[in-house]
Chains A and B, each alone.
Chain A
């Protein structure tokens, strides 16, 4: 068939013919199609709900890391104020890693958001088409003899089938994307489990390994710049009163 060389077209056409070939008794085809359409609508709804769940999980993770960024920043300032530059550097390195993760997560959430919106629009289109099909099917049945009605209703079913297939493809892409995000979220969880975003003051002597990894992950120059900036701020403004790290607000 001309113009049907693309993968999207091929998949859509295959899905439509599968849908229409299912029922062998012509009289049943139409009701079968309509049943299928309703089932499909339910699946789309469920798919959208899954995406919303995945998005919420990422958003929760994102806000947790955001809190870590604030906490690590506070700790760096406190460490610097009490003259412990090494500790301040470690805190800033961790903050840098956390911020990078945060950017990645936020971007993924935004992508998921736009896919969710598109699916909602597609679902609306499908709902309208299914409803139109239901009405049209009854009108055609009343107006034509069985054989001709069959042909005309099949044409209408093709139109709905195309929309169903299209929503199906959009869902598949969204699912693939959430799978990728799960992998990323798992990686972030591992960093969390390793104590990367933890309260610095709570970490004992066993931090060498994490520190080594952090040095590789974080951009040294970013950390240096921020440290210098923090020093300048502390030098010009009034230094915090508390000299002890554990006296800070990051509890």
Chain B
């Protein structure tokens, strides 16, 4: 599964990371829903960090499309309100 962090690049993650990604994604949604700005920054950073450290950075010339696109690291709390809603960005593993 390929995940893009907007403004940063693409990472190839093993399918086995899907449920952890979903869990981290849900934590961001909960923080945003609860109006918890500090919680949002912490959980969002954790989500991005998980992708960066568990994913393999794709070469610039790789032309693969991403399965998921995460917002840029400097996403503001008001912007996050439009972004992280409902099921979040990563769906439940089927």
Interface contact A5-B6, CB-CB below 8 Å = no
Which of A7, A156, A159, A160 lies in contact with B83, CB distance below 8 A? A7
Closest to A128 in B: B60
Which of B6, B59, B91 lies in contact with A3, CB distance below 8 A? B91
Within the complex, the shortest CB–CB distance from A188 to chain B, in Å, comes to 23
Ordered nearest first, which 5 A-B pairs have the shortest CB separation?
A159-B63, A128-B60, A132-B61, A2-B91, A9-B69
Interface residues of A, CB < 8 Å — how many?
29
Does A12 sit at the interface, judged by CB under 8 A?
yes
C-alpha gap A173/B6 in the complex (Å): 12
Interface contact A5-B66, CB-CB below 8 Å = no
C-alpha gap A6/B61 in the complex (Å): 26
Extra pairs beyond A6-B84, A6-B89, A124-B60 (6, CB < 8 Å): A3-B89, A7-B82, A118-B8, A159-B62, A159-B63, A169-B6
Question: Which A residues are closer than 8 A to B by beta carbons?
Answer: 2-3, 5-9, 12, 114, 118, 122, 124-125, 128-129, 131-133, 136, 155-156, 158-160, 162, 166, 169-170, 173
Within the complex, the shortest CB–CB distance from B87 to chain A, in Å, comes to 6
Question: Which B residues are closer than 8 A to A by beta carbons?
Answer: 4, 6-9, 59-72, 74, 82-91, 94
Interface contact B63-A3, CB-CB below 8 Å = no
Interface contact B83-A8, CB-CB below 8 Å = yes
Closest to A159 in B: B63
Interface contact A118-B7, CB-CB below 8 Å = yes
Interface contact A125-B70, CB-CB below 8 Å = no
Closest to A118 in B: B7
Interface contact A170-B7, CB-CB below 8 Å = yes
Knowing A5-B86, A7-B82, the reply to whether A122 touches B4 (Cβ < 8 A) is no
